[in-house]
C-alpha cells in the first residue's frame, strides 16, 4: 500500500481520479428525460392506491363504510386496519422502536393520518373512491405544543400503550452535570439564550412512492420504492411481513432527493405491498405534495436553552443546554438506537471546552411523527445552531469581535485527535485556517467599518455580519456506536473487473442526486489506474448490490467511499500477482505507480503493464496458484466518524422600514478532507446553502390549536427560489481524515448544518448595538420588523 492519495498531490493525472472535476455521468440521462423514478414504473395489470386520511388531529374512529367507494366502477378494494390485522400487517415498527398504525386502528393521533386505502384500476378512480369512503369520528381535544403536552391536564395521546400515563417519551442526558455546574458557579461571566429550531420538512422534489409486486409463482415480493436505505428496508419489510428476506427485493431506482425524508418506512409502502399480496397484482402508491409535507418525517422541532460560562476574556469554560423535543404522535425519529437525541452531544462544536452538560426530554404531540436527519447527521444541525448562536451571544455580552472570540476558543490544530467534553473523538481539524480564509474572502474589516458608518449616520439599512465556524460529525458509523434497528452501520463495495479491462462497482449506498455514479467511479479510477469512463457504478437493488445501511448523514464517502477504496486495493493486490506472471518477475518486485496507474518491475521502468492488460491476464492467462478472475468485496466498519468543518460569513442588509433582509455577501469555506470531485462538492455546497437560507428565512411546518397543519403545502411552506438565493463565494482548505483510506470526509450536509446560525448571527449583528440578542427562525420580514421596533430601530 502506498498510503493513499495525499492532499491535492495526485490530482489531475487525467484518468478522472481523485481531485478531478469529472462531469457527472448520471446527468446525461437526467437532462435528456431518461431518468427512471418510481412513478415512471408501469407494470402490466398494475393497480393504484389512494389513501384516505383523517381531517382531525385526535379522534376515535367509530365506523368506516367503504360501500359507496366499492360501488364505483374500477374500484377493486377498500382496505382498513381490520383487513391488515388479518395478515398481521396492521402495525409497523418505527426507527426508534415504537409501533405505528399502518392504517388507524381505533384512534387517530395526527391530522392526515392514514385511515383507509382505496385500490382501483387507475389513479383517478382511486382518488374518487377515497372521497366516497365514509368515516365516523368521535373528535377529541388535540395537543400540538410540546410544553402543553407535558401539562397534567393535557389529553393522553398514546392511551393504547400500557403504563403510558402522560405524553412524556424519554429523558436523555450527556456530559458531567456536577463538573459543569461547578464551572458555572465559579465563572466570571455566564450567558443564556432560549431559541427554537422550528419544525422543518426536507421537501424533496420527488415525494414518496412505491410499486409493490407480489409474484405468487415465485413467492417473491418486489418493491420499487423511494428509499434511502434499500437493504435496511428489505430487512424491516421481511420482519414486518414474515416473507423471508431472500424473497423480498427492494429496488430504489432514480430518487429525486431524499434529505432524510426517505429513510423511514411509511404506511403507504406497507399498504401497497399488502394490497399486492392480497390482490396478486402490482400496486402503485404515489404521494401528493401536501401528503408528503403533512405526514412524512419532519425535521428539527427542538426548543433549546443554551448557556455558556466564560472568563472575562471570553475563554469558554462550560456549556449547558436543555431541550424539549417534539417527536409527534409516534417516536419515529431517525437516530442510531444508542442515541435517542442523535448526535446532539456534539454541542461544544469547534471549541475546547472543559465541561459540558446537555439534557433533553422527548414528548408526544398530536402532530405527524418524525425527527429525521434532514441533510444532517442526526441532530447535529440543532447542536451546531445552538453553539454558534451562543458564541455570538457571548461575544455581544463581552463586546468582543465574534471572529476574535472564536479564535480564542478553537480546539488548536495540534490537539487532534481530540476528545470532547461529551466524549466524541474528533479526527482532524484546522479551524483557524478556515476562519482566516473566510475573513479574507469576505473583506471582513471593510464591512465592520461600513457597519459602524451606517450606525453613526443613522442609515435606513443596517449592516450585519454573521459568522459560523462549525464542526460536523459524519460517517455513521462505527458499528460499536451506531446501528439502525440493530444492524450495525457499516457499508460495502463490490468491484468486478471484466476481461476487457473495464469494471462494475456495486455499492451499498444509494444516490438521491449526489453524483455517486461519478465520484465512486473516481475512487476506483484513482486506486486502480483505470479511466473513470471504464467504470460503471450500480446501486439501489438489493438483489444485486452488497448489503449497505443507506445514504444519509453524509455517510456515503466516509463509509462506502472507504469500502470502495479498500475493495479496489484488494483488486490491486491480486493484480500484482497477475502482473508478476505476465512480466515474468517475482510478485514482491512488482510496484504500482499511482501517477501513471501502471504496475512495474522495480528497477526496470520499461517493464510495465496496465490494469487492462492485467484484466485480460486474469481471465486468459491466470497464474496457476491464483483463482481466475479479478474482483473483490469489502464491508467497511469505520473506526471513527469524520469531522468536516468550515467557516461561513454572511453579510446582510436589514431594512429598518420593512424588516426585509438582503444578502450582501455569502462566503463559505469548507474542509471535507481530501476532495474527490471539486465540482460535485461545489454543487453540494450550493444546494445546502440554499436549504440553509430556506431554514433561516422562510420554512416552517405550523399547526393551529386544533391540530390543523397550517404550513402543509407549498403555498404556506415556503421554499427558497432562485430569487432568494444570492451569489455564493466558496473556498476550501484540505485537512485529511487520518483514519479514512483516502483521507476524505463527507461534505453534503455541511452547508445546511453550518449556514443557518451564520445567517441568524448576521441579522442579530445588524441590531446588536441596540441590545438585540436573538431573532427566531424563519426570520420573516414581520418578525424582523417587530424586533427592530422593540429595539427602537424601526423607521
Catalytic residue positions? Answer: 228, 375-376, 749
Residue closer to ligand CDP (CB basis): 373 or 667: 373
| Residue with Cβ nearer ligand CDP (268 or 741) | 741
- The kind and range of the H/E element at 107 are strand 107-108
Q: Does 262 bind ligand CDP (CB under 6 A)?
A: no
Min separation Cβ 531 and ligand CDP, Å: 18
Q: Does 100 engage in binding with ligand CDP (CB under 6 A)?
A: no
Q: Cα Rg for the chain, rounded, in angstroms?
A: 28
- Between 361 and 554, name the residue whose CB sits nearer to ligand CDP: 554
Q: How far is the CB of 556 from ligand CDP (least distance, A)?
A: 3
The distance of closest approach from Cβ of residue 674 to ligand CDP in the complex, given in angstroms and rounded to an integer, is 6
Residue closer to ligand CDP (CB basis): 301 or 472: 472
- Taking the complex as a whole, the smallest distance from the CB of residue 761 to ligand CDP amounts, in Å, to 24
| Min separation Cβ 743 and ligand CDP, Å | 8
The position carrying cell 439534557 is: 359
Q: b/e per residue, 462-478, with b = 16+ CB within 10 A?
A: bbbbbbbbbbbbbbbbb
Rank residues 102 and 565 by Cβ distance to ligand CDP and give the closer one: 565
The binding track of 723-762 with respect to ligand CDP, each residue x by CB under 6 A or -, is: ---------------------xxxxx--------------
CB of 710 to ligand CDP, least distance (A): 31
Cα separation, 612 vs 502, in Å, equals: 7
Cell numbers of 649, please?
A: 460569513
The Cβ of residue 670 has, within 10 Å, a number of other Cβ atoms equal to: 28
Q: In whole angstroms, what is the distance from residue 98 CA to residue 205 CA?
A: 28
Candidates 6-14, 261-269, 347-355, 514-522; binding stretch for ligand CDP (CB under 6 A)? 514-522
Decide whether 652 or 681 has the Cβ nearer to ligand CDP.
681
Question: Can you say how many angstroms the Cα of residue 711 is from the centroid of all Cα atoms in its chain?
Answer: 22
Q: Give the start-end residues of each E strand in 561-696.
A: 590-593, 598-601, 604-609, 631-636, 645-655, 661-671
Please identify, among the stretches 75-83, 155-163, 453-461, 670-678, the one whose residues bind ligand CDP according to the rule CB under 6 A. 670-678
Minimal distance, residue 654 CB to ligand CDP, in Å: 33
**Smaller CB distance to ligand CDP: residue 529 or 748?**
748
Q: In what order do the strands lie in the sheet with 661-671?
A: 461-471, 645-655, 661-671, 729-732
Complex with ligand CDP: residue 314 or 748, whichever CB lies closer: 748
519 counts as binding ligand CDP under rule CB under 6 A: yes
**SS3 (DSSP) at 140:** coil
Q: Provide the grid cell at 357.
A: 452538560
Beta pairing class for 316-328 and 355-364: parallel
* Minimum distance from residue 19 beta carbon to ligand CDP (Å): 9
Sites for ligand CDP among residues 588-617 (CB under 6 A): none
Q: Helix or strand or coil: residue 412?
A: coil
Under the criterion CB under 6 A, does residue 276 sit at the interface with ligand CDP?
no
Site string for ligand CDP, 550-589 (x = CB under 6 A): -x--xxxx--------------------------------
Quote the least distance from Cβ 634 to ligand CDP, whole Å. Answer: 17
Residues 228 and 551 sit within 8 Å (Cβ to Cβ) = yes
Asked whether 284 and 209 are in contact (CB, 8 A), the reply is yes
- Angle CA 661–667–673, to nearest 5: 140
Give the footprint of ligand CDP on residues 388-447 (CB under 6 A): none
Neighbouring residues of 526: CB distance < 8 A, sequence distance ≥ 6: 5, 10, 15, 17, 18, 565, 568, 594, 742
- Cα(272)–Cα(284) distance, integer angstroms: 6
Rounded to whole angstroms, the Cα distance separating 291 from 108 reads 16
Verify binding: residue 787, ligand CDP, rule CB under 6 A.
Answer: no
Concatenated DSSP letters of 677-723: -HHHHHHHHHHHHHHHHHHHHT----B-TT--BSS-STTTS----GG
Number of residues lying near ligand CDP (CB under 6 A): 23
> 724: which residues sit within 8 A by CB, 6+ positions away?
693, 694, 697, 698
* CB nearer ligand CDP, residue 199 or residue 675: 675
Apex CA 700: angle with CA 661 and CA 390, to 5°?
Answer: 65
CA dist 401 and 426 (Å) reads 26
Nearer to ligand CDP, 326 or 511 (CB): 511
| Least Cβ distance, residue 258 to ligand CDP (angstroms) | 8
- Please say which residue, 405 or 744, places its beta carbon nearer to ligand CDP: 744
x-marked contacts with ligand CDP along 672-711 as a string, rule CB under 6 A: xxxxxx--xx--x---------------------------
Site membership for ligand CDP, residue 514 (CB under 6 A)? yes
Q: Is 22 in the site for ligand CDP (CB under 6 A)?
A: no
Quickly tell me which residue has 425519529 as its cell: 333
**Min separation Cβ 573 and ligand CDP, Å:** 24
Q: How far is CA 303 from CA 7, 109, 198, 695, in A?
A: 41, 22, 8, 15
Which residue in 506, 516, 574, 600 binds ligand CDP (CB under 6 A)? 516
* Residues found near ligand CDP in the complex (CB under 6 A): 514-516, 519, 551, 554-557, 672-677, 680-681, 684, 744-748
Amino acid at each position: 500500500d502506498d498510503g493513499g492519495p495525499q492532499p491535492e498531490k495526485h490530482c489531475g493525472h487525467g484518468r478522472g481520479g481523485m481531485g478531478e472535476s469529472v462531469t457527472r455521468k448520471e446527468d446525461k440521462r437526467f437532462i435528456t428525460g431518461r431518468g427512471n423514478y418510481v412513478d415512471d414504473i408501469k407494470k402490466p395489470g398494475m393497480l393504484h392506491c389512494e389513501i384516505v386520511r383523517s381531517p382531525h388531529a385526535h379522534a376515535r374512529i367509530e365506523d368506516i363504510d367503504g360501500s359507496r367507494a366499492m360501488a364505483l366502477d374500477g374500484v377493486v378494494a377498500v382496505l382498513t386496519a381490520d383487513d391488515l390485522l388479518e395478515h398481521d400487517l396492521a402495525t409497523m415498527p418505527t426507527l426508534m422502536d415504537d409501533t405505528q398504525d399502518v392504517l388507524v386502528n381505533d384512534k387517530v393521533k395526527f391530522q392526515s393520518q392514514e385511515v383507509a386505502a382505496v385500490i382501483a384500476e387507475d389513479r383517478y378512480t382511486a382518488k374518487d373512491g377515497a372521497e366516497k369512503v365514509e368515516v365516523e369520528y368521535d373528535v377529541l381535544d388535540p395537543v400540538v405544543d410540546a410544553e402543553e403536552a407535558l401539562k397534567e391536564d393535557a389529553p393522553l395521546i398514546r392511551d393504547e400503550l400500557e403504563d403510558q400515563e402522560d405524553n412524556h417519551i424519554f429523558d436523555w442526558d450527556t456530559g458531567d452535570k456536577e463538573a459543569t455546574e461547578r464551572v458555572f458557579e465559579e465563572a466570571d461571566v455566564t450567558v443564556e439564550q432560549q431559541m427554537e429550531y422550528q419544525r422543518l420538512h426536507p421537501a424533496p422534489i420527488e415525494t414518496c412512492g412505491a410499486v409493490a409486486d407480489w409474484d405468487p409463482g415465485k413467492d417473491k415480493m418486489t418493491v420499487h420504492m423511494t428509499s434511502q436505505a434499500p437493504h435496511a428496508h428489505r430487512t424491516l419489510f421481511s420482519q414486518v411481513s414474515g416473507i423471508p428476506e431472500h424473497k423480498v427485493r427492494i429496488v430504489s431506482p432514480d430518487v429525486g432527493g431524499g434529505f432524510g425524508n426517505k429513510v423511514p418506512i411509511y404506511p403507504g409502502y406497507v399498504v401497497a405491498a399488502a394490497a399486492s399480496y392480497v390482490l396478486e397484482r402490482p400496486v402503485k402508491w404515489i404521494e401528493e405534495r401536501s401528503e408528503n409535507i403533512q405526514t412524512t418525517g419532519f425535521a428539527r422541532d427542538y426548543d433549546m436553552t443554551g448557556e455558556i460560562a466564560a472568563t472575562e476574556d471570553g475563554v469558554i469554560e462550560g456549556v449547558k443546554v436543555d431541550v424539549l423535543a417534539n417527536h409527534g404522535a409516534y417516536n419515529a425519529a431517525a437516530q442510531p438506537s444508542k442515541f435517542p437525541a442523535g448526535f446532539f452531544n456534539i454541542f461544544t462544536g469547534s471549541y475546547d471546552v472543559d465541561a459540558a452538560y446537555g439534557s433533553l426530554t422527548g414528548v408526544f404531540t398530536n402532530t405527524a411523527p418524525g425527527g429525521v436527519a434532514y441533510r444532517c447527521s442526526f441532530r447535529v444541525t440543532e447542536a451546531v445552531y445552538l453553539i454558534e448562536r451562543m458564541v455570538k451571544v457571548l461575544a455581544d455580552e463581552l463586546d468582543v469581535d465574534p471572529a476574535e472570540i472564536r479564535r480564542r476558543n478553537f480546539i488548536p490544530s495540534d490537539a487532534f485527535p481530540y476528545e470532547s467534553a461529551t466524549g466524541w473523538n474528533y479526527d482532524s481539524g484546522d479551524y483557524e485556517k478556515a476562519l482566516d480564509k473566510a475573513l479574507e474572502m469576505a473583506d471582513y474589516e471593510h464591512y465592520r467599518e461600513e457597519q459602524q458608518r451606517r450606525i453613526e449616520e443613522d442609515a435606513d439599512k443596517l449592516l450585519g455580519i454573521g459568522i459560523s465556524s462549525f464542526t460536523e460529525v459524519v460517517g455513521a458509523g462505527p458499528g460499536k456506536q451506531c446501528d439502525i434497528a440493530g444492524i450495525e452501520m457499516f457499508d460495502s463495495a463490490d468491484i468486478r473487473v471484466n476481461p476487457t479491462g473495464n469494471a462494475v462497482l456495486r455499492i451499498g449506498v444509494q444516490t438521491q442526486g449526489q453524483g455517486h455514479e461519478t465520484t465512486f467511479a473516481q475512487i476506483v479510477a484513482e486506486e486502480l489506474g483505470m479511466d473513470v469512463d471504464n467504470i460503471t457504478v450500480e446501486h439501489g437493488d438489493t438483489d444485486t448490490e452488497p448489503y449497505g445501511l443507506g445514504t444519509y448523514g453524509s455517510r456515503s464517502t466516509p463509509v462506502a467511499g472507504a469500502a470502495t477504496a479498500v475493495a479496489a486495493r484488494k483488486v490491486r493486490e491480486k493484480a500484482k500477482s497477475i502482473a508478476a506472471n505476465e512480466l515474468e518477475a517475482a510478485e514482491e518486485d512488482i510496484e504500482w505507480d499511482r501517477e501513471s496507474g501502471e504496475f512495474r518491475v522495480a528497477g526496470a521502468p520499461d517493464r510495465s503493464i496496465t490494469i487492462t492488460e492485467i484484466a485480460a491476464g486474469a481471465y486468459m492467462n491466470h497464474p496457476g496458484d491464483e483463482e481466475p478472475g479479478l474482483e473483490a468485496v469489502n464491508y467497511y466498519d469505520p473506526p471513527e466518524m469524520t469531522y468536516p468543518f468550515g467557516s461561513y460569513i454572511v453579510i446582510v442588509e436589514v431594512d429598518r422600514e420593512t424588516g426585509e433582509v438582503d444578502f450582501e455577501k455569502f462566503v463559505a469555506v469548507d474542509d471535507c478532507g481530501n476532495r474527490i470531485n471539486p465540482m460535485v462538492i461545489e454543487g453540494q455546497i450550493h444546494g445546502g446553502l440554499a436549504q440553509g437560507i430556506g431554514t433561516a428565512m422562510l420554512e416552517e411546518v405550523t399547526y393551529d390549536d386544533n391540530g390543523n397543519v397550517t404550513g402543509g403545502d407549498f403555498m404556506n411552506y415556503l421554499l427558497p427560489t432562485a430569487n432568494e438565493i444570492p451569489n455564493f463565494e466558496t473556498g476550501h482548505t484540505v485537512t485529511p481524515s487520518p483514519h479514512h483510506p483516502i483521507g476524505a470526509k463527507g461534505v453534503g450536509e455541511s452547508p445546511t448544518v453550518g449556514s443557518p446560525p451564520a445567517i441568524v448571527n448576521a441579522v442579530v449583528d445588524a441590531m446588536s448595538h441596540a441590545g438585540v440578542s436573538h431573532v427566531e427562525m424563519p426570520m420573516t420580514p414581520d418578525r424582523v420588523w417587530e424586533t427592530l421596533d422593540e429595539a427602537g430601530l424601526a423607521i
